[in-house]
Amino acid sequence: MDFSANSQQARDWFESLRDKICTAFEDIEREAGSDAAFEYTPWERVEDGNDDPGGGVRGLMKGKVFEKVGVNVSTVSGNFPPEFAASVHGAGPENPYFTATGISLVAHMANPHVPAVHMNTRYLTTGKAWFGGGADLNPSIPYEQDTADFHAAMRAACARHNPTYYDTYSKWAEDYFFIPHRGVHRGVGGIFYDHLECPDDEAFARNFAFTRDVGEAFLDVFPRLVRRRMNSEFSAEDEARQLEYRGRYAEFNLVYDRGTLFGLKTGGNIDAILMSLPPRATWS
């Protein structure tokens, strides 16, 4: 695997963030009287003609508070299929080689009053090198306080780096996490960014610092939202609303999500790619 020192730094941090998030989520399960813990399943990528295509670790927990939460890390390299390479930043049929490392998280909660959430950060190299990622909140029963607190955390992470980031990336999340065939947004937003290019070590350090702050902001704010709502009473109607919302979430991830397409097109682990799907959902 042709993996640079910068890529290794990013990989090490993604793995450390995974460990901190999983510990924080297991702590919440203990507070709820549950002994649920993450189960980690390694996987190896296969690519014809590539002796070292990489792989990853799928972390999955099903508990009392977290009905299903996946925290995946992967580090892969290889060649994009020619028809897909043209759609990837910095790549193309003449330059299909890539490396990618990142963390991806989706949590579906047992209590309908606790919001589902998605977080992903990544570092890719093609003909260019760049960071991307973000975090977005996906409640079936939105609360203004939860939405405000989540956005405040993302806004603060952005403000430490560039005064334009939050307005730009929150609008990008609003536009991206939209389900055209339903005419609705997937959730209440957050931030989404991509193609933060790293042509030199200075740019890498700057964009890596921002990406770390996004991950740390998520780690700070989301457990607080979970603890705020996890003991709320809920009705059969609340649960029905949650299951219908999960159907919308699944539709977006299967039809529109870039990460799903990237994983499928690059020979990723199917269970890891589809861990974003909810454990239960309904369609009327």
The CATH number of whichever domain residue 115 belongs to comes to 3.40.1500.10
Q: Is residue 281 part of a domain?
A: no
Q: Which two tokens stand for residue 102?
A: 């990142």
Task: Examine the pLDDT at 197 and tell me if it is beyond 50.
Answer: yes
Q: Which two tokens stand for residue 180?
A: 């055209």
Q: Which two tokens stand for residue 25?
A: 């989520």
Q: Is residue 254 part of a domain?
A: yes
Q: Is residue 100 part of a domain?
A: yes
Gyration radius of the chain over CA positions:
18
* pLDDT of amino acid 214: 98
For residue 70, count other CB atoms closer than 10 A to its CB: 22
Catalytic one among 118, 151, 161, 185? 118
The arithmetic mean of pLDDT across residues 233-256, rounded, is: 97
Contacts of 88 (CB under 8 A, 6+ apart): 80, 98, 126
* pLDDT of amino acid 1: 46
Catalytic residue list contains 118: yes
Q: CB–CB of 213/207 below 8 Å?
A: no
* pLDDT of amino acid 46: 87
Q: Is residue 203 part of a domain?
A: yes
Between CA 181 and CA 159 the distance in angstroms is 34
Task: Examine the pLDDT at 178 and tell me if it is beyond 90.
Answer: yes
The arithmetic mean of pLDDT across residues 187-201, rounded, is: 97
Q: Which two tokens stand for residue 53?
A: 């295509």
- The domain containing residue 164 runs over which residues? 5-276
Per-residue pLDDT tens over the stretch 19-28: 999 999 999 9
The arithmetic mean of pLDDT across residues 143-150, rounded, is: 98
Q: Is residue 284 part of a domain?
A: no
* pLDDT of amino acid 3: 61
Q: Which residue has the tokens 């890539």?
A: 98
* pLDDT of amino acid 127: 87
Question: Confidence band (pLDDT; 50, 70, 90) for 109?
Answer: very high
Q: Which two tokens stand for residue 114?
A: 């606790």
34-60 exposure pattern, b = at least 16 Cβ within 10 A, e = fewer: bebebeeeebebeeeeeeebbbbbbbb
Between CA 59 and CA 61 the distance in angstroms is 7
Task: Examine the pLDDT at 142 and tell me if it is beyond 50.
Answer: yes
Number of domains in the chain: 1
The arithmetic mean of pLDDT across residues 198-219, rounded, is: 97
Going through 50-95 in order, the beta strands assigned E by DSSP cover: 54-61, 66-79
* pLDDT of amino acid 94: 80
Contacts of 214 (CB under 8 A, 6+ apart): 121, 133, 134, 135, 154, 157, 191
Question: Confidence band (pLDDT; 50, 70, 90) for 269?
Answer: confident
Per-residue pLDDT tens over the stretch 78-106: 888 887 878 888 888 888 889 999 999 99
Between CA 121 and CA 160 the distance in angstroms is 18
Between CA 65 and CA 182 the distance in angstroms is 29
pTM: 0.94
Tell me, what amino acid is at 171?
Answer: K
Task: Examine the pLDDT at 2 and tell me if it is beyond 60.
Answer: no
